[in-house]
Amino acid sequence: MSPAETCPASAPVVRPELGAGASILICRPNTRLGNTVLLTPLVEELQRSLPEAQIEILTACPAAAEIFQQFSAVRRVHALPFRGVRHPLNYLRTLLAVRRKRYDVIIDPCPNSWTARFLTRHLAGRLKVGFTVARSVQGVDVSVPFKDAPRHMGAYPVYLVRRTLFGLDPKSARADEVTLNVRLTDAERDYGRGEVRRLLGGEVTAPVIALATHATGSKRFAPEWWQRLIAELHAHLPAARFIEIRPPSGRASLAALPGFSSRRTREVAAVINAVQCFVCADSGLMHLGAGTDTLTAGLFKVTLPELYAPRRGRSCALVASDAAPEAAALQLAQMLR
């Protein structure tokens, strides 16, 4: 098969590599929590369409094993060191473990990652699929143009496999909005409800809103902005209660609020799942919240909502301004009513 053979848009393609128990490697060596949660629609698509497939994931995200632990088809998560340059021996050891296996299919789901394409090219696989982008067709056997894919980062990996592995035409491959899902168990949901009761001093009948202020760089809103947001929400929703989801360090930005922090990603997701609304800036926590059943409102001021908006149920992106937390509060209050 010639490199970068474009998948036709007509009849479905039957890939011999997708037989019973096919081994599939998703090559996404990225460190970010959000980018890892954004892979859950891809894993769900593969697990639904190929129920006997054995999926492995190559990642650099420390939380990846937790994110995918409830996906029965994910047999192994290969975790590269978080900062590989500081741990070269561990990095090479992990890559060698992956390199020793020959996969039926290797998927490079990201059109803009030089590292993912480089590793895809040098790992052993019968069939390698990825996007066709400028000067990046080498390293894959079958590709489709990225310009035709949906804009959202959780949707275009699903589009990729529908086109390259399942032979769907572009329109069919874009059908059905994909959603994020971390697949919380009943026990985890109970844990989350218990933690919210502990934070608020017992059973709570009023709506509970969780806030997370942490974000990187210019995505961040100042603590004073959040305080004004809370005051305005109180004016619209007097009975509402508030908690803060804090980083693993436990550092508080809103010290007046009861706060929850944990180094266990699924515990954080469980607490978010137990509240009525989760509000945060565009961040990995936003996507984690969107992977639960809770209405997650992501606040955007520098990034594009069509690329990163929280995708599940009523979750949504709100365009916010540093100067106008009251406007964001009004939109949130209207949603919660």
Q: Which residue has the higher pLDDT, 91 or 25?
A: 25
Question: Distance between CA atoms of 277 and 293, rounded to whole angstroms?
Answer: 10
pLDDT value, residue 198: 97
Question: Distance between CA atoms of 240 and 337, rounded to whole angstroms?
Answer: 11
Mean model confidence pLDDT for the chain: 92
Is pLDDT above 70 for 261? yes
Is pLDDT above 50 for 3? no
pLDDT band per the 50, 70, 90 thresholds, residue 82:
confident
pLDDT, tens digit, 9 for 90 and up, residues 198-239: 999 999 899 999 999 999 999 999 999 999 999 999 999 999
pLDDT band per the 50, 70, 90 thresholds, residue 134:
low
**In Å, what is the CA distance from 327 to each residue of 1, 106, 321?**
56, 46, 8
pLDDT, tens digit, 9 for 90 and up, residues 4-15: 544 444 444 557
pLDDT value, residue 11: 41
pLDDT band per the 50, 70, 90 thresholds, residue 19:
confident
Question: Distance between CA atoms of 143 and 68, rounded to whole angstroms?
Answer: 26
Question: Distance between CA atoms of 11 and 83, rounded to whole angstroms?
Answer: 44
Check: CB of residue 24 under 8 Å from CB of residue 105. Answer: yes
Check: CB of residue 54 under 8 Å from CB of residue 24. Answer: yes
For the chain, list the domains and their CATH numbers: 5-174 (3.40.50.2000), 186-336 (3.40.50.2000)
